[in-house]
Structure 1
Amino acid sequence: MRPYPKNMNEETKTKGKKPKQSFVSRFFITFKTLFSTMTRKPFLKRTLITFFIILSLYALFNTFFEPSDSFTFDSNPLNFNSTTTSVVLAAGNSKSPAVKVYLYDLPKRFTYGVIYHHSLARGSRADESDLSSLKYPGHQHMSEWYLFSDLARPDSERAGSPVVRVLDPEEADLFFVPFLSSLSLIVNPVRPPGSVPVSEKPVYSDEENQEALVEWLERQKYWKRNKGRDHVIVASDPNAMYRVVDRVKNCVLLVSDFGRLRPDQGSLVKDVIVPYSHRIKTYEGDVGVDKRNTLLFFMGNRYRKEGGKIRDFQILEKEEGVIIKHGAQSRESRRAASQGMHTSKFCLHPAGDTPSACRLFDAIVSLCIPVIVSDSIELPFEDTIDYRKIAVFVETAPAIKPGYLVSILRGMTADRILEYQKELKEVKRYFEYEEQEGTVNEIWRQVSKKLPLIKLMINREKRLFAKEPDCSCVCTNQTAIRTL
């Protein structure tokens, strides 16, 4: 006995299936039927004939002269992915033009003069007549120097940059102010109280330089035009520009975090978070756990500057596989930190004097998984980097309970640690200031993304009437404006 088909109607449908009629055939059959019923109504018959002739001409024209949506001509018959290719090419051709940046030619006192005074304060006999030959000293807030140097390079050396330097300010979208604000802050060495006579005034004054810079800017045509909204200033040290921040708060500020800024002075909407310049050597080895025998490593000051608050992580010092070292920044401590991070699976990152600190970026380039215990931290490039894939985040309150932190870390499998390390290796170029497609280009990309908002705020500001200062939900930093 022959089995039934799966679909009982399948066989019947197959046998009795008629050839599919075309649109034209169906049209003329319908026309013939209607025509035969209208022979006794001449007027209606003529009307219908005229209507159907017009309709048939329209149908024939669309059938034979207009290309079908399902048919595309491809000159390359072997290209089975022509649709995908065209989409990719279209996306590539829609790339936005580079943002035009004008580099201010500041008086030397704000650029190379700062380097000169820094050298002078440390006993150097630098040649004041050739300031541009001075070398910028290495420290954790070097972003200001890398960005300044990048714009000063010839165009031939800046291929691939998201911004292009223009020499005519009328062509500029943005204006870069190359004041070395973070270096200016540390020109005068910190000396123990009583080691310097009270009557001996330092030769260099950061506060005076800040005031002088803003006075110079406020005389410039392009600053006055939009009240500084289209200007970019680097203030990566949390204390940089502290004296005049209210006078430059309209600018795009490049900062390490917002720990010392009010909401009306800095925000993620108008400003850019930039990474610290890492101070230890980049780890050049491959991922792996075999050579990383330490579970958790930390090196830094036990005391924070503000209020002498003690870091509460001394509870970790007696834990097996945990190394906690205390000490100030020095060449020797950096060497020890480098060794510790390169041989540890995890690196502790508690809040510093502000929510962020350089050791986070030291850990990233060491492929040492950051353990971030800083509830208010802001991180750079978060539209590009998912930090949950490269770091472990622990809330501060439970983190200082005995055994809590190490139990989490000991629960990580070797495979999970390798996943973190692979992700770290993928993104570490974003924290290398000297790489061609590294930190500098990414900062410029972030700055470029602010341009639409800058234009919006400039146009909006021109129509507003005078009013009291107000910090809106997007932190517009708006002050009194009139539209008359």
Structure 2
Amino acid sequence: MNLRPKLRSPPAASLPHSTKPTPIKMPSKSLLRPTLVLASFLSLLAFYSFVLHTPPNNRSATSIDAALGNRNALSLHRADKVKIYMYDLPRRFTYGVIESYAAARGGEPVADDALLKYPGNQHSAEWYLFSDMNRPSEERIDSAVTRVTDPEEADLFYVPFFSSLSLVANPVRSAAANATSDKTVYSDEQTQEALMDWLEEQKYWKKNNGWDHVFICQDPNALYKVIDRVKNGVLLVSDFGRLARNQASLVKDVILPYSHRINTFKGDVGLDNRKSLLFFMGNRYRKEGGKIRDLLFQLLENEEGVIIKHGAQSRESRRAATQGMHTSKFCLHPAGDTPSACRLFDAIVSLCVPVIVSDYIELPFEDVIDYRKIAIFVDSTSATKPGHLVKLLRKLSPEKILKFQKELQKVKRYFEYEDPNGTVKEIWRQVSQKLPLIKLMSNRDQRIVLRDLAEPDCSCICSNQTGISTTL
């Protein structure tokens, strides 16, 4: 019986005006008052018993209902995920690349692929994505994609070729050394061709003309030999520096961050230990757009508070770079051979405000990161005017620099490949957002009349050179 309506009623003693007087005998009136008082007491006792001592069975039922609700919501969430089928490629395209890289550097063969170690480098996104796809599904609940083992269920197909490592599998050697060596030399070009020969025989590659396939080619030269054969797919790249307008675009492809090479800064925001104004350490002499580096060296190397050093990749250089970035307010990011370079991401995880001097740079995850809040952008023409750059930086107040640092603190997880809530998770989210376009292009391919055009028909895909971002 529900006692709540009765408990909401005031006690009878408070309602004399609403009760019509009835003549009664004195003995009966004396018995009525104790009865009403006792009834009120019992009602209050029942109320507190109900509120404070809800039976365990009722609490359990509530918990079970909530758990079932959460489980149903989770099932619906999983149903909404983009389904990815990862090809089980022949070994030569994955672990075989690692093995060839190690062998070229004097490494000993190993009996178990699990013992092979992917070498740490700035292009290791291909390893992190491959490893993530191989994790148990229960460890990837928050991912925007889910791996399926039946290709018939797949929305997208991931091709996990270690293309960047393949590019550098052999150490740099002279032409004479290559000619006289009796060892089998690993060939990246042959490996790329072999990959495409294998892939183009696959049923699901042919089905949609490759539009629903995902390739990682983070090094600017990765897959260069076969890029025209994979250009329909979703390309995971660091920038568009070596790609033509009909090969890549912001609409169909995903920009990845390089894996940072220096240690993440573990401290909090602050300027007390950041005595240097501006820091840069890297190769002074680069090609193409990177030629600006030499000009910046000439302008900045004698400026007070500026540390600018020439240095190649090495363990010692990384230690020096870590120290420099962790103790500087600003970190210079000039273009390399292509518009982007790993030092931008080194600076971000160091809470060292990036100063970006690169006119055609594309940046990762711009739908969730406003880079104006974490970096300073200076065009090349202004940056190479004597005194302009340091004057600009010295004008910024400590409060403004701290504001930059706080924003860097918020977003740096997006650039941590080993963070479960970091880079890999975000890459898959970006890939999942390409699915509507992929379906559009696949359907369009099925019905379009083929034409003999002098130029590729790219009218439906934005150029990577126009500077205009097109969204679906």
Change over 3 Å in CA distance of 1:168–1:258 after alignment to 2 = same
**Bigger CA drift: 311-320 or 280-289?**
311-320
Q: Using the alignment, how far apart are the partners of 1:187 and 1:121 within structure 2? A: 7
2:459 is matched with 472
1:284 is matched with 266
1:142 is matched with 124
* 2:227 is the counterpart of 1:240: no
Determine helix, strand or coil for the equivalent of 1:118.
helix
- The one of 82, 88, 102 aligned to 1:119: 102
Post-superposition offset of 1:274? 0.5
- The one of 376, 394, 416 aligned to 1:410: 394
**2:290/2:334 contact within 8 Å kept:** no
Change over 3 Å in CA distance of 1:311–1:333 after alignment to 2 = same
1:312 is matched with 295
**2:126/2:162 contact within 8 Å kept:** yes
Amino acid at match of 1:130: D
**Bigger CA drift: 460-469 or 338-347?**
460-469
Post-superposition offset of 1:132? 3.6
Determine helix, strand or coil for the equivalent of 1:348.
strand
Amino acid at match of 1:463: R
Determine helix, strand or coil for the equivalent of 1:299.
strand
Deviations along 1:311-364, one digit per CA (max 9) or x if unpaired, are: 211210111000001011001001100000000000000000100000000000
- The one of 135, 144, 150 aligned to 1:162: 144
Q: Using the alignment, how far apart are the partners of 1:103 and 1:260 within structure 2? A: 27
1:176 is matched with 158
Q: Using the alignment, how far apart are the partners of 2:300 and 2:200 within structure 1? A: 52
* 2:177 is the counterpart of 1:196: yes
Determine helix, strand or coil for the equivalent of 2:396.
coil
Post-superposition offset of 1:130? 2.2
Q: Using the alignment, how far apart are the partners of 2:237 and 2:196 within structure 1? A: 18
TM-score normalized by structure 2? 0.79
**1:233/1:253 contact within 8 Å kept:** yes
Unaligned runs of 5+ residues in structure 1 are 1-88, 478-484
- The one of 385, 388, 392 aligned to 2:376: 392
Q: Using the alignment, how far apart are the partners of 1:220 and 1:476 within structure 2? A: 30
Q: Using the alignment, how far apart are the partners of 1:311 and 1:257 within structure 2? A: 22
1:300 is matched with 282
Post-superposition offset of 1:435? 0.5
**1:457/1:476 contact within 8 Å kept:** no
Post-superposition offset of 1:305? 3.9
Q: Using the alignment, how far apart are the partners of 2:301 and 2:415 within structure 1? A: 30
1:229 is matched with 211
Change over 3 Å in CA distance of 1:438–1:393 after alignment to 2 = same
**1:327/1:333 contact within 8 Å kept:** yes
Unaligned runs of 5+ residues in structure 2 are 1-69, 465-472
- Larger radius of gyration between Structure 1 and Structure 2: 1
1:108 is matched with 91
Amino acid at match of 1:241: L
**2:311/2:317 contact within 8 Å kept:** yes
Determine helix, strand or coil for the equivalent of 1:416.
helix
Change over 3 Å in CA distance of 1:217–1:475 after alignment to 2 = farther
Alignment length (residue pairs): 385
Q: Using the alignment, how far apart are the partners of 1:431 and 1:195 within structure 2? A: 41
Q: Using the alignment, how far apart are the partners of 2:333 and 2:125 within structure 1? A: 21
Amino acid at match of 2:192: Q
Q: Spell out the pairing of 1:214-225 with structure 2 (5 A cutoff).
A: 214-225=196-207
Q: Using the alignment, how far apart are the partners of 2:176 and 2:331 within structure 1? A: 37
Determine helix, strand or coil for the equivalent of 1:311.
helix
Amino acid at match of 2:97: V
Change over 3 Å in CA distance of 1:122–1:143 after alignment to 2 = same
1:424 is matched with 408
**2:290/2:336 contact within 8 Å kept:** no
Amino acid at match of 1:359: R
1:205 is matched with 187
Post-superposition offset of 1:307? 9.5
Deviations along 1:21-51, one digit per CA (max 9) or x if unpaired, are: xxxxxxxxxxxxxxxxxxxxxxxxxxxxxxx
Determine helix, strand or coil for the equivalent of 1:285.
coil
Structure with more contact order per residue of length (Cα contacts < 8 Å, sep ≥ 6):
2
Deviations along 1:253-294, one digit per CA (max 9) or x if unpaired, are: 000000000011010000000100000000000000110000
Post-superposition offset of 1:126? 1.9
2:39 is matched with none
Post-superposition offset of 1:198? 3.0
1:453 is matched with 437
- The one of 82, 87, 92 aligned to 1:99: 82
Identity rate, percent: 68
Amino acid at match of 1:392: I
- The one of 325, 329, 335 aligned to 1:341: 325
**1:179/1:234 contact within 8 Å kept:** yes
Q: Using the alignment, how far apart are the partners of 2:410 and 2:131 within structure 1? A: 26
Q: Using the alignment, how far apart are the partners of 2:360 and 2:463 within structure 1? A: 21
**1:112/1:132 contact within 8 Å kept:** no
Determine helix, strand or coil for the equivalent of 1:198.
helix
Change over 3 Å in CA distance of 1:237–1:421 after alignment to 2 = same
Q: Using the alignment, how far apart are the partners of 2:185 and 2:347 within structure 1? A: 37
TM-score normalized by structure 1? 0.77
Aligned CA-pair RMSD: 1.9
Amino acid at match of 2:169: V
- The one of 270, 289, 297 aligned to 2:252: 270
1:31 is matched with none
**1:188/1:202 contact within 8 Å kept:** no
Determine helix, strand or coil for the equivalent of 1:229.
coil
Q: Using the alignment, how far apart are the partners of 1:473 and 1:263 within structure 2? A: 12
Change over 3 Å in CA distance of 1:329–1:476 after alignment to 2 = closer
Determine helix, strand or coil for the equivalent of 1:263.
coil
Deviations along 1:443-464, one digit per CA (max 9) or x if unpaired, are: 0000000000000111111110
